[in-house]
Amino acid sequence: MKTRVRFTVNGDTIDTAIDVRATLLDFIREELRLTGTKKGCDHGQCGACTVLVDGKRSLSCLKFAASLEGRAVITIEGIGKPDALHPLQAAFIKHDAFQCGFCTSGQIMSALEVIGDPLANTCEAISEKMSGNLCRCGAYPNIVAAIMEVKSNGTV
């Protein structure tokens, strides 16, 4: 069964019939061909599928696409371009905050919310706020350093 839904993804209006069982993750990857958002555990435990929905991080593998009527979704493709990186993307490169890169898009999308949190102002607080995003390579200190740099520079 399908339902008609209208919402935005990276500023583009989507007005389409969506299978009511389709997750946002599957819709983003399979219908929109935006493959930066990764399918990790598919159970909401790893954070690789993190996107922003109305400015708040959301696990796209747990959200039905049909529930997004009138909402705004931002994926990793919506925050920077190769020739104009978002400050977080640049900081991740500078601090080598990734190794295999699989978790990087989810880490960056979660970090977007964290940098706006006034209570996340220490390495410990940032680590706690980022705890829902797993990194199989263990780049956590570098991820926190990248986030701290962006927060301290106020470049967002």
Q: What is the pLDDT of residues 98-115, one digit of tens each?
A: 889 899 999 999 999 999
Which H/E stretch holds residue 79? Answer: none
Domains contained in the chain, CATH given: 2-78 (3.10.20.30), 87-153 (1.10.150.120)
pLDDT of residue 99: 86
pLDDT of residue 52: 98
Q: What is the pLDDT of residues 62-97, one digit of tens each?
A: 999 999 999 999 999 999 998 999 999 999 999 999
Q: What is the pLDDT of residues 1-13, one digit of tens each?
A: 999 999 999 999 9
Residue 155: pLDDT band by 50, 70, 90 thresholds?
low
pLDDT of residue 125: 96
Beta bridge partners of residue 4, listed in sequence order: 17
Residue 17: pLDDT band by 50, 70, 90 thresholds?
very high
Q: Which of 56, 154, 68, 73 has the alpha carbon at shortest distance from 110? A: 56
pLDDT of residue 73: 98
Tell me what percent of the residues of the chain surpass a pLDDT of 70: 98
Going by DSSP bridges, is the β-strand pair 2-9/72-74 parallel, antiparallel, or unpaired? parallel
pLDDT of residue 60: 98
Residue 140: pLDDT band by 50, 70, 90 thresholds?
very high
Residue 148: pLDDT band by 50, 70, 90 thresholds?
very high
d(CA 146, CA 5): 37
Q: What distance lies between CA 1 and its chain's CA centroid?
A: 28
150-to-81, 147, 155 alpha-carbon distances in Å: 18, 5, 6
Q: What distance lies between CA 88 and its chain's CA centroid?
A: 12
Residue 153: pLDDT band by 50, 70, 90 thresholds?
confident
